Structure 1
Amino acid sequence: MKHLQPFILLLVGLWLPLSALAELRASFDRPQVYEGDTVTLTIEAEGFLRSDQPDLGVLADAFDVLGSSQGRRLEIINGRQSATVSWQILLSPRHQGEIQVPPIPVGDEQTPPLRLQVSEAPTDAQGGPGDDVYVEVELEVDGDSVLVQQQVPLVVRLFSALPIRGGELSDPRAEGAVLERLGPDSQYSTRRNGREYQVIERRFSLSPERSGELRIAPVVFQGELRTRRPARSPFDLDPGFDSLFGDSPFSLFERGEPVRARSQAITLQVQARPDDFGGAHWLPAEALTIEDSWAQDPPRLRVGEPVTRTLRVTAQGLAGNQIPQLDIPVPAGLRAYPEQTEAQSRTDGSTLFGVSVQRLTLIPTRGGSVEFPAIRVTWWDTLVGQERTTTVPALQLDVEGQAAGEVDASPMPDASAVSPSPTESATASPEPQSGTAATADGNPQLSRFEHWFWFLLVLAALLVLIGGLIGLGWRRRRAGGTFRTQAADASAADRVGAQSGTRSKGASAACRAGFQRACAANDAPAAAKALLAWAQALQDEASGATASADAPANLSALAARLDQDGSPADAAAEQVRALERVLYAPDAATWTGEALWRALGDRLPTLMRNRPGEGAGARGAAEPLAPLYPERR
């Protein structure tokens, strides 16, 4: 152990200088810069070889961090070691004036505070026509003032009289405003002060967020130009080649001329919203339209059947997220299920267009005439400087089905147990309608979450139905295989057929009795179940098989089977369809089974024999259940 002590002392001696942390140093490459310039911040530490990094989050309020690099240096002079770590951070100041830079943490240490003076660029430092390169910023607005939240077109143009080898053009920046890029860059040529310039143009939409003075900082271009060559070398190509492409194939070996140009700063006065504006929401736009459309044109309303109404708001000079949700009144006798509002912004390259789409699924709960009140949106016309109102006219429609007062429009028990009842009538509200608007009777409207709940419930029921059909087909194949195995013994097959016929007759009589009891009790679900079971038993009795594939699978298929176009079966088919509408209508109206029993109680066996099934193909072509949300056009 004593032999190791000198070695340990040597390691400690080498480690102490490397682990010791001297005081951090920080400095800017120059103490004063002009607005739009970049500045380099250097942080150095001697004897610092750990992995800690500067925390640049403290610079976020006053600077944009454009990039950083790190270097390490280890020196041994006359046996003494020294280690230095340095960081170079490229910054762009956000505003004018004196910027106080707080201490920057690096591990457990901090840099000393710094100061930087940012001044407005002198006029002679800003280029213009006649220079090789200059930048121009233009606001396409009449006058020197705009309204708060008004969309103002802003154009940035880079003029270059010489080919540009590369560079970077900064985006405009303004405190208290939102800037949105409109489309891709456009390029063209023009003449200014007798010189030919190539122009790169970028368009933005500027939206002030508060009233007062708004200052747009200069836009800066920094890059390289292809320099003029005094004489042509033997390797030069045709001059037309250079003028067309800007660089010849040999320009890769040439050095460019660094160039820097900045635009002038722009000051704009932002006016507050007028005091006499009477709208519920401040909407400064050049134009605003509302398109009212229905899934069916013209709209056709029927009790228990859903229909979708779509309102599309288009505002020129507004973003999609600036358009509020419309307050859509719902007449009495209708249930409303609003969908999620869709908002988007688009541009034609020079103007911003906001689009907001609201869809509302309506289900009538009683027949008669309903009137949809007019919808009004008040907005401010920025072109003429006055208030305007866009109106969706009132609409009166007739609802086919039972007249008002004949249907019990009480809420569905399951819906009230899980979530608030859907809207039956809505009153005007100063706030935009949301997924849970208040109704006239005090019940909140179903939200979009409850809407998805019912959608998933219907989907689960369809999956169960499909599983049942698959199981029925499997039973049929299994039964068919059993009969094929027993077909070798003819006498045994006859005995099986006789027993099956006896069971089918007994089953059909039991199903008929159950159907009669359900109709007498006015129990629609039980009547539907017993009716389909009775039809299945009659089909089994006719075919001599169990779970025949020719039997109707649902009420729609049974109605199609009974539909004879003018025969007495027409009345029976209509009663079956009426039972189906009662089962799948959301209002759970009262149903009377007497008419259905009179139409089918004594005639179903005869009607089934007169209209035999057409196999699995007919069953697969049966009319499906009507979807809750019909296809939109």
Structure 2
Amino acid sequence: MALPAQAQVNVSLDRYSIAPADTVQLTLEVDQRAAQRPDFSPLTRDFHFLGSKQMTVSSHSNGNNQYTTRWRVLLRPRHSGELQIPPLQINNEQSTPLLLSVAGDKSSTAAINRDSFLESNVDTSELYINSQLLYSQRLYHRAELPPMANFSEPLIEHANTIALGETNRYSTQLKGETYQVIEKNYAIFPEQTGQLTIPAATFSAGPGIAELQSEAFSIDVLPQANQKKKGYWLPSSQVSITDNWQRPDTITPATPITRQITISATGLPAAALPALMPLRNELASIEVTDVSLSQEYSSKGVISSRTETILITPLERGEITLPEIRIPWWNITKDRAEQSIINPIILRVEAGSKLTSGQTQAAEATPPLTSEITATDGSALSSSKTVVTSAHEDLNQQTVPAQPAPDNSHFLIWLLTAIAVISALGWLYSYAALRRLKQQLDTDGSQTVEEEVELSAILPQHFSDDDDFNYDAAELLKVELAERDAFQAALSACEQNMALEARLLMLEWGRQFWPEIEINSSIDLSDICNSKTLDLLLIDMENHIDGTETDYWSGDLLAEALDKIREKQLSKRFELS
């Protein structure tokens, strides 16, 4: 289908006068979604074609969606002179030609005939916020550098700059001369939208010697793309998930199972990777025992990973359903939303008694390709590794297009109803169980004073000696696990930056931790904790929920504050016991 008019195909250069060794960036724009890639072959007559990048920019105005498809092409001239950017064909239209002036041999030779010169490069002039920009500095020199020589480091405001490994040193040939090269490479992650300025790199050989200076760069930083599935923002060229297991063939209550989940991303720092494993389950205790972050550096920039080691302990016989893990991310290469997924897993727990550490065997086990994992009888242990990744080039990798977000109102109604029902049933069950235990223990007097003191410390204060109750370890363990699971669920919501879910789960944890106090809002929780830090964090959370604050909410500080408050409260209870 032809474009409406030729005037809607626009081309421009970032510079119109360069030296022969420089690069120039050509931008071609079409004010709609393009049906096909432009034909760039006419450029190769006068230029080296160094690569291209496509991006679709969308905007909403007067009730209409408007789209612009943009190509960025990096070129280096084959010779000096007045070079023409020829008309480029896209669909049935052509762009207008442009002229580029490339300095002649005289000025070029004068620059290269010096003992040293400095150049710098970026891989793009436009990118999304928090995505990776590759920046390099190269010093070419023929003479030995003096001891006081100094190579500047990039100081860039509103950006996270990471040096990519050690400084590279090598030799190269230019105009028949051998030059020694000192090369430094960086990954830059802009932290706000608008114009990002990379100042000129400088090299000083010492006092009284003129400095060498490269060009400065101005980079356009775009806001987050419009993702249908809301959540964290992960702009990357590739994201993958690895799922490893260690468990016995036969799963029984109290038998520990180890799961290790790793998310890897190209072009993101490790600190930007999200938490993975949901920690709330009615039939199992789930605990993250270790979180490991790592970063590696290559020609593609930063390659990072986050590995979570999770201990799953079944509490009773039945089927434990571990929900799917769905990681939405933005493919900056194809400029579209994608998701990496681990399917739901079912663990079948057979009847049996609690095993001691000497009886527990652990080994790697293979989850089937289906979403159900069934433990069967037998002594042999098997091992495997399940990988789900979003790279399209690998047929074994799985990429799922972003799905429309569900109706939030139905989800909230379901979540509130579920919390209310679970809380009511839980306290009715606890009350009945404790009454039965009191009657039983009053007759046999089997529990020691030492056990009462130790276990009462982990309970809320109204469950201590004031009610003249006695408990056994099994029932106390259930109460403790219920509170811990609720707390872990609240922390997980905070770490995944889900403000509304964090508030609901945080209040549910508060009701379990202080059951003698009525907690219906963040204000109630703030009054109990008496923490100014928590007060400010709760106000910030509420402002994001009601829309007063429209920027991105980060819950890591709230999670840290809640963890400190809980730890302090538990310490007090142990002292009182």
Q: TM-score range by the shorter chain?
A: 0.3 to 0.5
Structure with larger Rg: 1
Give TM-score scaled by structure 2 length: 0.45
